[in-house]
Amino acid sequence: MRERESTNNHVMVEARKVDLSIITPVYNAKEFLEDVCKSIVSQTFTGSMEWSIFDDASSDKSIEVVHRWLPQLEKRGICVVMGGHSGKEPKGVGYAKNRAIDQSSGRFLCFMDADDVMHARRIELQYAASLSNPDAIVGCQFCRIPCTSTPRYTRWANSLTDVQLRTQAFTSFGPTIIQPSWFCSRDVFLRAGPFVEDKKVRF
């Protein structure tokens, strides 16, 4: 595990290159992180991998859950990189994602929110798709828990055709490639630019 304190909105990390970094902003996610850790350890991907977490001033001891899982994560070959700040107020999900990316070192970035659970083959399949399409943002279908949560939105997002992925990108529903399922090369992210750091955008 590597821990870094952020300074002047940047996180300094050791030079270390891995195939991919899982990017997770954390704010008061203690009740979800056990399942998050289980799904990361269960991944079938065989390349080098790290989990980059940035704690945005959580007050519920979220990071203690990750610390309990460190032996299993490290046994699986997953390096955990932790950063954060201890201010009185969170700085927002965009800020936390950008800092998690800053402190990471993967050639590819796999975005995962702190209340998400990944299918065991998610990284394996999205990594292969990204290698074949290095200039693309790769997404995937998803399930809501509970299944009755946002059923209309879920049906829309999971039934999009290739044409709709392009033509409905700016509808009221939001982007057609759902953000928590994003997977892309670091080069793609750097060309697009960082997330908007607006405190009004919630986790």
Cβ 180 vs Cβ 111: under 8 Å = yes
Tell me what pLDDT residue 141 has: 65
Tell me what pLDDT residue 176 has: 61
**DSSP assignments along 20-33, one per residue:** EEEEEEESS-HHHH
Q: How far is CA 134 from CA 13, 126, 183, in A?
A: 25, 11, 10
What CATH class is the domain 2-136+178-192? Answer: alpha beta
Tell me what pLDDT residue 6 has: 46
* Element at 68 (helix H, strand E): helix 62-75
Residue 101 CB: number of other CB atoms within 10 A? 22
Q: Which of 14, 18, 26, 23 is nearest to 92 (CA)?
A: 26
10-residue averages of pLDDT along the chain (203 residues): 50 65 97 96 97 96 96 97 94 96 98 94 97 90 68 68 72 68 94 84 55
Tell me what pLDDT residue 172 has: 61
Tell me what pLDDT residue 93 has: 93
Q: For the chain, what are the domain ranges?
A: 2-136+178-192, 143-177
Tell me what pLDDT residue 20 has: 97
User: Is-above-0.85 flag for pTM?
Assistant: no
